Structure 1
Amino acid sequence: MKKTKKILCIAFAALFCLCTFSGCGDKRSAASDWEYVKENGNLVIGITNYKPMNYYDDSGTLIGFDTEYAEAVCKKLGITPKFIEIDWDNKETELDAFNVDCLWNGVTYTPARAENMDFTKSYIHNSVVVVIRSADAAKYTDTASLVSARLVAEGGSTSEDAISDDENLSMADFTPSESLVSSLMEVSAGTADAAAVDSTMADDLVGHGAYADLMIIDGLILADETLAIGFRTGSNLVEKVNAVTDEFLADGTLQALAEKYQVNLITD
């Protein structure tokens, strides 16, 4: 029995060494990102619950502009999209660790982010706006009036950056939230006075349903942005996705999705 156990231990040790040195499915052993994705047969896409880009309908089905966009691109490339929700504050880590292959969730392009990942061409116009309760419309009208307010924004987002970059908002009581949606929930619940969020989402949700008591401060734009898809630095998937995107812009596929989900498509 002891001899058998010894043999098994040696076998497991050998297998461990083999996995360590030969890769044993090492995600970094493929010649390129495209080869890696093709071998796996799927593209693992990091997302958050962000309407109208990636969100769940009443039946629990994941839908949205980016969801359908990704599905259409993957179909064209002959692979399967696999969507997983991630902590947006750790998005670069998830990407570099090969836990996800890309970030396809209304990702804002910035030069700083471009130092840590490669982006596709931008495809959506966006801006950072401030959402408050409608009852506070007279109280909060500009950033100066928000100096003593309790602010929230998704941790690790450009909305958080916009707060830090503003002379007035940077002095406010700021708390990072888990997501764009949770930012709105905190304002609605009264645990925060204002939220810096993407206009793409705010235009869709604010003033309706669960957020009927909220409003966007008129004329207050903290930043103008464009949205793109983030891949690992050096990924040849960027070229693949850009090529399919050009086809979808030419044949009207993306325009139809933009009209369906009411987003501001970049067409030039």
Structure 2
Amino acid sequence: MKKKLLGLVACAATLALSGALLAGCAGSGSNDEAADNNAASTDKTTLTVGFDQSYPPYGFVGDDGKYTGFDLDLAQAVCDKNGWSFEATPIDWDAKDALLSQGNINCIWNGFTMEGREDGYTFSDPYMLNEQVVVVKAGSDISDFAGLSGKTVMTQVDSAALDVLEGDQAEVAATFKGGAAQTIGDYNNAFMQLDSGMIDAVACDLSIAQYQISANPGKYVQLETPLSTEHYAVGFKKGNTELANQVTETLKQLDADGTVKKLCEKYASYGISYDNWVLGK
């Protein structure tokens, strides 16, 4: 009898130990699964967009103090579509290359002209038509490029307009006062100087001109002939083809489902037009 009782006790102890081991294994599996989930969330793509916060309507500070703009909304929509995190990072425009190279941002999305920059970046497909134009005050005697001779013309440092004035339109720029365009850190201040009479003209992107003309009725006019015609695209670090292609394909999807047109309508009063959208058309 004692032997039987001892046998039963031993069996019970064995079963208890086995149960504990099984429970331990189950607990270990749960912990592994949680770790996997944490790793998956850590691996989630973050689109860190470098933009000029003084570049309406593509990127600027809204009346509520928050960053807003057509390109930022477009970038947010791309992230939402892909399940990515979105981070808008205001930058000094002339520091954009260093920030991209160092990984502080992983794209430049801010009315970014691709022509002439192809060797320095990997670009998405172009999505918006753009031009470089000249804006003067209403009532000015300047009506064409010849009228800019001896005048003070300003543009943003490291801008597409400056590239054009130092390249294809260098002969025009040579007629400006001082033999070249003056530069400034942002277009808002350039237009403040134009308004005050400190300068005679601003060379800028079509979108900037349309925004300033729309926001200040009767104050500015745009010269009819553009300095150049070009396109906007999203710029990535050279070689980051995978992310560039993902953004391109997502933009096509957003155009197909009507999101792009709605955003163009949202910013229509700022000079954005769906007619200038080129991707997928």
Flag whether TM exceeds 0.5 (same fold). Answer: yes
Instruction: Find the partner of 2:191 among 148, 161, 184.
Output: 184
Given the two structures, how large is their TM-score scaled by the length of structure 2? 0.75
In 2: Cα distance, 1:207 partner to 1:118 partner:
33
Contact 1:152 1:175 in 2 (8 A): yes
Partner of 1:45: 49
Aligned pairs for 1:145-184 within 5 A: 145-164=147-166, 165-166=168-169, 167-172=171-176, 173=178, 174-184=181-191
Structure 2 residue 65 is the aligned partner of structure 1 residue 60 = yes
CA distance, structure 1, for counterparts of residue 137 and residue 86 of structure 2 = 38
After TM superposition, the structure 1 = structure 2 runs for residues 244-255 of structure 1, keeping only pairs within 5 Å, are 244-255=250-261
Distance 1:121 1:169 in 2: 30
CA gap 1:133/1:93 in 2 versus in 1, 3 angstroms: same
Quick one: which amino acid aligns to residue 189 of structure 1? S
Q: Which amino acid counterpart does residue 157 of structure 2 have in structure 1?
A: G
SS in structure 2 at match of 1:59: coil
2:124 paired residue among 120, 124, 127: 120
Q: In structure 2, what residue type is equivalent to 1:223?
A: S
- Percent of aligned positions that are identical: 29
| Larger helix share, 1 or 2 | 2
Give the C-alpha shift of residue 41 in structure 1.
Answer: 5.0
Cα offset, 1:63, TM superposition: 1.8
Per-residue displacement from partner, 1:202-245 (whole Å, max 9, x unpaired)? 11222534x7522212x121011110100011112101111211
CA contact (8 A) 2:122 2:237 kept: yes
Match of 1:71 among 51, 69, 76: 76
What amino acid is aligned across from residue 135 of structure 2 in structure 1? V
How far residue 175 of structure 1 moved from its aligned partner, in angstroms, is 1.3
For residue 234 of structure 2, give the secondary structure of its aligned residue in structure 1: strand
Distance 2:193 2:76 in 1: 32
CA positional deviation for 1:92: 1.8
Corresponding residue for residue 20 of structure 2: none
Residue from 201, 204, 215 that aligns with 2:211 = 204
SS in 2 for 1:153: strand
Distance in 1 separating the partners of 2:174 and 2:103: 34
Q: Distance in 2 between matches of 1:40 and 1:152?
A: 43
TM-score by length of 1: 0.79
Deviation by residue 1:231-261 (Cα, 9 ceiling, x = unmatched): 0111121011112112112111112212222
Quick check: 2:156–2:183 contact (8 Å CA) kept in 1?
yes
C-alpha separation between the residues in 1 aligned to 2:91 and 2:175?
29
Rg larger in 1 or in 2?
2
Q: SS of the residue aligned with 2:132?
A: strand
Which of the residues 143, 146, 149 maps onto 1:141?
143
> 1:40, CA displacement in angstroms?
6.8
Report Cα offsets for 1:31-85 as digits up to 9, x if no partner. xxxxxx9737532211112111112221112222111100011122222221122
Counterpart for residue 265 of structure 1: 277
**Structure with greater strand percent:** 1
The residue type paired with residue 152 of structure 2 is R
Alpha-carbon distance in structure 2 between the residues aligned to 1:142 and 1:226: 23
CA–CA separation in structure 1 for the residues paired with 2:139 and 2:42: 53
Root-mean-square deviation (CA, aligned residues, Å) is: 1.9
Return the offset for 1:171.
3.1
CA–CA distance in 1 between the matches of 2:237 and 2:133? 29
Structure 1 residue 168: Cα displacement: 2.1
